[in-house]
Amino acid sequence: MSKSVLITGCSSGGIGYALAQSFQRRNLVVFATTRDLSKMVGLKDLPNLHLLSLDVTDPYSIADAVEAVKQVTGGPLDYLVNNSGRGYWMPALDTDIEEGKRLFDVNFWGPLRVTQALSPLLVAAKGTVVNIGSINGYLNVPYAGIYSASKAAVHVLGETMRVELAPHSVSVLTIVIGSIDTGLHNKFPAPKLPSNSLYTPLEGKVQDSAQARDFIKRQKPEGYAEEVVTDILAGKTGKIWRGKNALKTRYGRILLPMSVQDHILVAHSGLKDLVKK
């Protein structure tokens, strides 16, 4: 039987959707998942591609997906791609703690829940876990602190899992993605600052950041997906940096003084104007 892959977060227009298409073109059995199946209708007629409803925050939904995979593969799963993600942009002092917990439930606990549930299938196949990280996990981007913290946590979790799963012949690959045009910024309403916020004059800047109205050039997910699938199928492990601005971030954070990094990241945030006021 062909090798198999399960991908979380495959809504149309995003990274998971493009990954599902790329894996399918390379003759893998693909399990494309998202909470709402209607968001994957463009994939439904592709051969060897199975659409599954999966909420990474719901253990029962995850258990149903595990059983669905077993029914098709007979037991093993070769690749798991933890791609589901949630966004949240807000100054740290104005963060809604409950909203922050919901973000971590998807971005951090979700990959761990899914990996735990699928681990027997991955061990049976001597498979690979792929965690989708972000350059935000290495950058102090104003208003993105909670999202960035969740991705930094994914990086640490992935590298720890790599060491822990090695004795069971399961590989772990963490992909630090760069600037990709995924539509993530458009899935939630523009943030509204609380009435007592210290950043009220910058509400427009916060909203610009949340809606990706900025100077950053982003790569289309299709090209990124092709590169990443090549990496996965080549057996790469550890941590790799892929996508626009990924390598700039990797080396810039090492070579540039912190003051220069701060200047670049703060330049369009309005924070310098707030200091003057």
**DSSP code of residue 14:** S
Query: pLDDT tens across 30-42, in order?
Result: 999 999 999 999 9
Q: Where does the pLDDT of residue 218 fall: very low under 50, low under 70, confident under 90, or very high at 90 and above?
A: confident
Three-class secondary structure of residue 13 per DSSP: coil
Whole-angstrom distance, CA of residue 175 vs CA of residue 15: 12
pTM score, two decimals?
Answer: 0.94
| 275/131: higher pLDDT | 131
* Residue 130, CA atoms < 13 Å, CB-side half-sphere: 29
Both tokens assigned to 182: 């995924």
Please report the pLDDT score of residue 275 as a whole number: 66
Give the CATH fold of the 4-276 domain: Rossmann fold (3.40.50)
Whole-angstrom distance, CA of residue 112 vs CA of residue 56: 9
Please report the pLDDT score of residue 257 as a whole number: 95
Active-site residues: which are they? 147, 151
130-155 average pLDDT score: 96
- Contact, 140 vs 265, CB < 8 A? yes
245-257 average pLDDT score: 92
Query: pLDDT tens across 81-125, in order?
Result: 999 999 999 999 999 999 999 999 999 999 999 999 999 999 999
Q: If you average pLDDT over every residue of the chain, what do you get?
A: 93
Please report the pLDDT score of residue 128 as a whole number: 98
- Contact, 121 vs 76, CB < 8 A? yes
Please report the pLDDT score of residue 277 as a whole number: 55
The secondary structure of 167-228 as a DSSP string is: GGT-EEEEEEE--B--SGGGSSPPP---TT-TTGGGHHHHHHHHTT-SS---B-HHHHHHHH
Give the CA distances from residue 215 to residues 38, 238, 263, 267, in Å, rounded to whole numbers and listed in that order.
32, 31, 14, 10
Please report the pLDDT score of residue 217 as a whole number: 73
Q: Where does the pLDDT of residue 219 fall: very low under 50, low under 70, confident under 90, or very high at 90 and above?
A: confident
**DSSP code of residue 108:** I
